Amino acid sequence: MSDSLDSRQLDRYSRQLMIDGFDESDQRTLLSSRVLVVGAGGLGSAAIQYLAAAGVGTIGIVDEGRVKRSNLQRQIVHGVDDIGEPKVDSAARFVDALNPDVTVEKHPVRVTSETVESLLEGYDAVVDALDNFPARFLVNDAARLAGIPFVHGAVYGFEGQMMAFRPGGPCYRCLLPAAPDDDAIPSGEPMGIFPTLPGTIGCLQATETLKHCLEVGEVLDDRLLRYDASDATFTRTPLERRPECPVCGPDGITAVDDVDYDDRCRISE
Ligand SMILES: [Zn+2]
């Protein structure tokens, strides 16, 4: 990558270059940043769109699924012509059309304890745009071990939540040590989602990811943000590290593939 922005880039990014405290070197930082988005569904669509539009130079996209008609109500990087296509291909076409400065790295694979560490390798941050607990725990664990932020987001019905879990602060397992009962919160099953909700939460995830990459503002890494779309309320709840956390605690795990995960993602010795 060249050291200075060309005239097309100066024009393209002019509105963010006008922000106080944001200059060409910040844009070059974004262009050399590498962000992995795990999940190309509703949350992923919103995060991918804004990360790409902002000029994050490399976006990895992990998704093993194909586009279904029922996705289109909220997964806005996919269209009718993409039905049946791999989501990573559809999302990559969207990014290519939006911003030629962005390189997409496609990972059409399942997140497992065997794949997760190599998937995260070389990325500066990972966006949790997943819809199931086992993969979410695995990515949290691997991200913490890799020393990169795990920018969590989740949606259900009218409600969503997000937080950037960064090394030094609490991790996702400090919030939720293991998956709740399936009948409490469905995981990986089709569920009702208000169409704009993943857009709101995914956009917040993109915002916190950009702030982390740019080292600007106060990244939301010490409290959980909850959003209830039904009455338009945001609440922020402080979260601290748990000393007994099996991942970020003093006796935490040292490698994901050394861990015995049970079906509820508890970590057994
Ligand atoms: Zn923890």
**Rounded distance from Cα 163 to ligand 1 centre (Å):** 13
Radius of gyration of the chain (CA): 18
CA-CA-CA-CA torsion sign (9, 13, 14, 19):
negative
Query: Tens of pLDDT along 197-228?
Result: 999 999 999 999 999 999 999 999 999 999 99
The SS3 call for residue 157 is strand
**Fold for the domain defined by 30-268:** Rossmann fold (3.40.50)
The SS3 call for residue 191 is coil
Q: What are the DSSP E strand ranges found in the chain?
A: 34-38, 58-62, 103-107, 125-128, 150-156, 159-165, 223-228, 233-238, 260-261, 267-268
**Rounded distance from Cα 240 to ligand 1 centre (Å):** 9
Query: Residues with Cβ within 5 Å of ion ligand 1?
Result: 171, 173-174, 245, 247-248
Q: 183, 158 in Cβ contact below 8 A?
A: no
Residue extents of the structural domains in the chain: 30-268
Query: Tens of pLDDT along 25-55?
Result: 999 999 999 999 999 999 999 999 999 999 9
Mean pLDDT across the chain, nearest whole number?
94
Averaged in consecutive runs of 10 residues, what is the pLDDT profile of the chain (269 residues)?
A: 85 96 96 98 98 98 97 97 98 98 98 95 98 93 97 97 97 90 64 95 98 96 97 98 94 86 77
